[in-house]
Amino acid sequence: MEFTPANKDKFEAIVKRYPVRRSALLPALYIAQEQEGWLTTEAMEYVASLLDLSVAQVHDTATYYTMFRFGPQGKTLIEVCTTLSCWLAGSEALLGSTCSKLGIKEGGTSADGKFSVRRVECLAACGGAPAVQVNGEWLERATEADIDRLLAGEPVKRAFDWPKSPAESPAPILFRNVWKDRSTSIETYRAGGGYANLKKHLSMTPDEVVDTVKKSNLRGRGGAGFPTGLKWGFLPKDNPKPRYLCVNADESEPGTYKDRVIIEKDPHQLIEAVVVSSHGIRAKTAFIYIRGEFHEGFRTLEGALQEAYAAGYVGKDILGTGVDVEIVIHRGAGAYECGEETALIESLEGKRGQPRLKPPFPATHGVYGCPTIVNNVETLVCVPLILDRGADWFASYGVEKNGGPKLYSISGDVLRPGSYEAPSGKVTLRQLIYDYAGGMRNGRKLRAVVPGGSSTPVLTADEIDVGMDFDSLAKAGSMLGSAGTVVLDDSRSMVSLARNLTAFYKHESCGKCSPCREGTGWMLRLLERVEAGKGEEKDLTTLAQVCDSISGKTLCPFGDAAITPALSTMAKFREEYEYYIREKGSWQRLAPTFEEAKRRGPHTAHSSQSSQSEESPQSTVGTR
């Protein structure tokens, strides 16, 4: 096996982008898979020879990622997301019915070789739940009718229709171009003032850029909320090695789909931000690490980058300023863990996306052992804004210590799921749910909210009068995280919520740390047992002990994230866990809400489940 002439040219062009050849491994594997249909042994041997790697190194890396295939599949690959928001929207039932119609098991291929169907974890399409990808193309808010048309041979695509914020909310700043015609084009971006101040910003000294960002108190939008300017200041001043900027566009936290809007709808805003930020930290090369599942986003960014190069906004001596910035778009291949900065760096270097031991930190030992800054998409697009309008304006546009415009994603049991923009912290969780997202579906009552992505502790319906900023949510016992809010109504089981998210974390564990690798499996088995009505009181004690054995004992924050759904739901909804154990099953068989099931009294579940087991099986909607 070897590449076709066209693919050889494509490969050689890719290799030249990287200072170290091994970084071209993931792109080379994509080329091989697209050419051959899947990664054969011969394909991996060939890629190894091209990059001077052993076959074992190539195989070790390739098998880590979920998007590489090691056997033939159908002509059409149907991937159904089953993580929280899509699960709430009935994706399990959709997955099951699709397989049933084809007469295959999950993960299988139809007898005629036309279709393969598989389960995938969060696609960052939470507002378009249930979300499906068909050969990488979006099919959001997918229905049984869509699947029927697809199986009949019709092309079916549907991307999410991004809703606008309420009319009374402040005019969008970060989302200012999203709803314009041809919003991805350089002409539209320039017509709105894009690139107008690029020369001015590049004429500032790097120290002036960093000092301005520090003064603005811009806090990282990826989850931790660490001050961006302070982070940039950690770069060593006396290190002769080149510096790198890595853009974390690996948006994978369940409930979060805000960066995707910028990538797909306003890519030039990101490109300009990367150029300016690279200048600020004295980096001549920037890597945009975009998650592999963002097929549309990857194409959109590639096209915009070509436009920016042609216009002289990226490359050598940009606009005659003497500033050089090269941008490389590097596509991941399916691994939630690559959202962690050192795992992202490992993946960028052509390895398994597993975290490094810290210290040393990326600021001193990052990509290729060089000083590196890793920042999130939303964080970086704030930088030109700060330089345009001033640090004082940015700091005041929001609440104290939480300045600037902020993007909030919301999904689940609300009328208008979407990603919305508001001044940071000047919108409460209640306002986000009821004013921005239109309130609860079907007139139901609110039961619980995951406020900032799957790794943040749940809040109850009585705890939503809290500002959506880092400090306010911390005081409320949760976190802003990535600001990916998932809303659950009073028909939802908290035990099932914990089980669904624990299954996600078990699947996404990189396997490097034993507590996480083994502990998530233990957690999932315990939660599945409780959910199935086979749990015992001691299981809750064991579950808490397993969580304790993971907490703070892993190389990265993944372990602490993985235990959060179970711990926070047990803390806030312990009574429901005890009900499952006492009554040998779910209250959802008996009543539309947990409160009503409690009013009906004990022991009714036993007889009801026994008498209804044949004629009224539990719905597959909202189960795994």
Q: Which two tokens stand for residue 462?
A: 């009585």
Domain with CATH 3.40.30.10 in the chain: 76-151
Structure tokens that stand for 252 in this block:
């994978």
What pairing do the DSSP bridges indicate for beta strands 402-403 and 398-399? antiparallel
Sequence ranges of the chain with CATH classification 3.40.50.11540: 186-396
- For Cα atoms 576, 582, 584, give the angle at the middle one, nearest 5 degrees: 95
What pLDDT digit, counting tens, does each position of 109-137 carry? 999 999 999 999 999 999 999 999 999 99
Q: What are phi and psi for residue 265, nearest 5 degrees?
A: -115, -20
Q: What share of the chain is helix, strand, coil (3-state, %, to 5)?
A: 45, 15, 40
* Residues ≥6 apart with Cβ < 8 Å to 517: 509, 511
Radius of gyration of the chain (CA): 24
Contact in structure between 362 and 341 (CB atoms under 8 Å): yes
- For 537, the enclosing helix (H) or strand (E) is helix 537-550
CATH code 1.10.10.10 for 500-582: no
Residue type, 135: N
As a whole number of angstroms, the distance between CA 397 and CA 607 comes to: 58
Q: What residue ranges of the chain are covered by domains with CATH 3.10.20.600?
A: 405-489
- pLDDT for the residue 603: 59
Would you mind telling me the total number of residues written for the chain in this entry?
624
Contacts of 446 (CB under 8 A, 6+ apart): 433, 440, 461, 464, 487, 488, 489, 490
Q: What is the CATH number of domain 5-62?
A: 1.10.10.1590
CATH 3.40.50.11540 fits 186-396, yes or no: yes
**Which regions of the chain are under pLDDT 70?**
603-624
Interatomic CA distance for residues 249 and 331, integer angstroms: 9
Question: Can you say whether the dihedral through the CA atoms of 133, 139, 144, 147 is positive or negative?
Answer: negative
* pLDDT reported for residue 168: 82
Residue pair 490/595 in contact (Cβ under 8 Å)? The answer is: yes
**Residue 563 backbone dihedrals phi, psi, to 5 degrees:** -85, -10
Cα gap 48→25, rounded to integer Å = 9
Which single residue is written with the structure tokens 């062009």?
13
In terms of CATH architecture, what is 76-151?
Answer: 3-Layer(aba) Sandwich (3.40)
Closest by alpha carbon to 376, among 485, 481, 508, 243?
481
Which residues are CB-contacts of 28 (< 8 A; sequence separation ≥ 6)? Answer: 11, 14, 47, 50, 51
514: Cα separation from own chain's centroid: 24
Helix (H, G, I), strand (E, B) or coil at 514: helix
Task: Specify the domain boundaries for CATH 1.10.10.1590 within the chain.
Answer: 5-62
| Whether the Cβ atoms of residue 223 and residue 375 lie closer than 8 Å to each other | no
> Token match 């098998």: residue?
63
What is the C-alpha to C-alpha distance for residues 194 and 178, in angstroms, rounded to an integer? Answer: 13
CATH code linked to domain 405-489: 3.10.20.600
> Hey, what are 598's tokens?
């409690």
Q: With beta carbons less than 8 A apart as the criterion, state whether 377 and 248 touch.
A: yes
In the prediction, which pLDDT does 617 show? 28
Query: CA 392, 396, 397, 402 torsion: positive or negative?
Result: positive
Alpha-carbon dihedral 25, 28, 32, 38, rounded to 10 degrees: 40
Cα separation of 242 and 239, whole Å? 8
Q: Nearest CA to 271 among 243, 242, 309?
A: 309
- Give ranges for CATH 1.20.1440.230 in the chain: 500-582
Q: Which residues pair with 449 in a beta bridge?
A: 459, 487
pLDDT at 607: 43
